[in-house]
Amino acid sequence: MGICRDMGTRPKAERRLGGNRAVLFVYAMEGLENMAFVSTAISLVTYFFGYMNFSLTKSATTLTNFLGTAFLLALFGGFISDTYLSRFKSCVLFVSMEILGYGILAAQAHFHQLRPTPCKGAATTQASQCEAASEGQVAILFTGLYLVALGTGGIKAALPALGADQFDDKDPKEAALLSSFFNWFLFSLTIGSIVGVTFIVWISVNVGWQWSFIICSIAVVLAAIFIIMGKSLYRMNVPKGSPLVRIIQVFVVALRNRKLQIPENDEELHEIHETERGDNHEIIKRTNQFRFLDRAAIIRSNTDAATSISSGPWNLCTVTQIEETKILIRMLPIICSTIFMNTCLAQLQTFSIQQSTTLNTNINGFKVPGPSIPVIPLLCMFILIPLYDRIFVPLARRITGIPTGIRPLQRIGVGLVLSAVSMAVSGVVETHRKSVAIHHNMVDSTEPLPMSLFWLGFQYAIFGAADMFTLIGLLEFFYAESSSGMKALSTAISWSSVAFGYFTSTVVVEVVNRVSGGWLASNNLNRDKLNYFYWLLSGLSVLNFGFYLVCASWYRYKKVEDRQSHPKDALDMTKV
């Protein structure tokens, strides 16, 4: 299982590399690392507000900036993985940085000299009335936070690509296994998140933040141990140089050849076929979009191709290199159209967490920590992912003939629709919550309202289903569509949608506050107009979905030459 068709001449021992056995270690690392990251991310807003004495708005924006940076740094991790280090070495490097970051956060939480004196009743008092954190204390906090951000960002780029590398996406049988890998990758992420938002969040609320950060450190150390244990089983990628340099070369050469006529016959454009390369690089067929870039493959001289090749990549590019550039250009509208969904996600990790602190959290005498409420969408995903992978995909495969059941772009679209529904439901629930506060004369009260915490479960559950469709749809889409030399960078691009969503959230909150006259500015959710804000996001999500439909219909899937046939024959990826 997991053996490429072109590996027939390799030693017998090497044939056992890759496959489902190898990705078990990837699942283990993802579960443990994400357990630490999610438990920290989901409750940091209360740490900023109650322990670092930040205001409510500053707590929310600091968190979204941290999360946005973490996911944006996945681009850096993908660049390093594709250009300099293998994906395995990248995972080891970045997990080491994350361990150091959690260690710094644990030290600050343990030693009171490293943070400001907590306000008396910090959870119910405006932080602006308390002692502000000093510059040194804030510097320590940000050092730890952004080491964690750098570490988790690099892992998010390299780890999914490392796991996907264990399957040959050119083999129809393994193509189905590759799609299943992404589903179970999300499943391992979900299990880690469930443990994080329940057990570790409970530790931070009831035992102490220092113990929470210590447990996170231990979890990430175990993640590093697991990924190293599987080293002998992995199919290792060989870095093929900077994909960014190859893209720049295409633009430079195309600009230099801008006055040349593009030949109608594809065979007249420069390409090095598989038999000439002697390696496993895929050959991508020419497409008609962005034809001006095809000028980079025009052979200027009348001599043979070998002479032209010697002139170097800054003078002549291959069709595959040009198509690699075109793929990235085609991906950009898709990624832009998914950013706003993650802006909505940011609200569930900031304002919805603050909503939970105003509600009744007692269940049969057990007090549920407010930051643990995201366990609802995680449980929803925990149930839906196996059903999707084992029931829906096989049934859809019989109907569509597509190994993945439905195409990734269709899966992403379903998630965007559910995101808009989730925001509309959030507005309804918040309207009800405020009416309860008004009815019981508790608008300015610090006591929990006579309303169950699990009213928030409706919006979280719907968004959990949305995340299941969109996140894995993006990872699968970008990995499958990217060239072999930029798999990690393309995986990172899918995470960058989350990053820009968090950054956009910060901007949206600030703009809405100014334009609306302060819907979210009073530090009192019972007086704020959070329900209006949710409905605004729902309406904008509908418009965003319309934009996505235009982008998805415009996209053209890549076509790759079949290694087992003549170079003129090709595997049409639109049928996969």
- Note whether 529 and 522 are within 8 A (CB): no
Phi first, then psi: what are they for 349, rounded to 5°? -100, 0
Q: Of 232, 223, 83, which Cα lies nearest the Cα of 151?
A: 223
Strands 570-572 and 559-561: antiparallel
Integer CA distances (angstroms), 185 to 128, 162, 385, 472, in order: 42, 11, 10, 9
251, two tokens: 């633009």
Q: Is 452 helix (H, G, I), strand (E, B) or coil?
A: strand
Give strand pairing partners of 367.
Answer: 362
CA distance 130 to 255: 59
Exposure string over 105-122, b if 16+ CB within 10 A, otherwise e: bbebbeeeebbbeebeeb
Antiparallel, parallel or unpaired: β 362-363 and 366-367: antiparallel
Strand partners, 366: 363
CATH superfamily of this structure's domain 13-239+326-561: MFS general substrate transporter like domains (1.20.1250.20)
CA separation, residue 420 to residues 301, 378, 536, 543 (Å): 56, 19, 10, 10
CB burial string 532-541: b at 16+ within 10 A, e below: bbbbbbbebb
Q: Retrieve residue 288's tokens.
A: 């008609």
First to last CA, the chain: 20
Which residues share a beta bridge with 571?
560
On whether the CB atoms of residues 335 and 496 are closer than 8 A, the answer is yes
Overall size of the chain counted in residues:
576
How high is the pLDDT of residue 128? Answer: 43
In sequence order, which ranges of 114-231 are alpha helices (DSSP H)?
135-164, 172-195, 201-206, 209-229
Whole-angstrom Cα distance, residue 576 to residue 571?
9
For residue 302, the model assigns a pLDDT of 52
Tens of pLDDT, residue by residue, the chain (576 residues)? 343 334 443 444 445 677 788 899 999 999 999 999 988 887 787 788 777 777 777 777 788 788 878 888 888 988 888 888 888 999 999 999 999 999 999 998 888 887 787 665 444 444 445 777 778 888 888 999 999 999 999 999 899 989 988 887 676 677 677 778 888 999 999 999 999 988 888 888 788 888 999 999 999 999 999 999 988 888 887 787 788 888 888 999 999 888 888 887 777 787 776 545 544 567 888 888 888 888 888 887 654 444 444 467 788 888 888 888 888 888 888 888 888 888 888 888 778 878 888 888 887 777 777 667 778 888 888 888 899 888 988 898 888 888 778 888 989 999 999 999 999 999 999 999 999 989 888 888 878 888 888 888 888 889 888 988 888 888 888 888 887 777 888 888 888 888 788 778 878 888 888 888 778 877 788 888 889 999 999 999 999 999 999 988 888 877 766 544 444 334 343 333
In whole angstroms, give the CA distance from residue 382 to residue 165: 25
- 495, 292 contact by CB (below 8 A): no
Number of H helices, E strands in the chain: 19, 6
- Within 10 A of 53 (CB to CB), how many other CB atoms are there? 25
Does the global pTM surpass 0.85?
A: no
String of DSSP letters for 382-445: HHHHHHIIIIIHHHHHHHH--TTSS-HHHHHHHHHHHHHHHHHHHHHHHHHHHHHHHHTT-TT-
CA 454 to chain centre: 27
Please provide residue 148's backbone torsions phi and psi, each rounded to the nearest 5 degrees: -60, -45
Sign of CA dihedral 494, 498, 499, 503: positive
- Rounded to whole angstroms, how far apart are CA atoms 84 and 523? 47
Burial 374-395 (b: 16+ CB within 10 A, else e): bbbbbbbbbebbeebbeeebee
Closest CA to 73 of 493, 505, 478: 493
The structural domains of the chain, with segments of one domain joined by +, span: 13-239+326-561, 243-325
Give residue 423's pLDDT.
93
Cα separation, 20 vs 164, in Å, equals 10
Alpha-carbon gap, residue 379 to 131, rounded angstroms? 39
- Joined together, the tokens standing for residue 50 give 């109650």
Q: Which helix (H) or strand (E) holds 331?
A: helix 319-337
The answer to whether 47 and 145 have CB atoms below 8 angstroms apart is no
Q: How far apart are CA 128 and CA 126, in angstroms?
A: 5
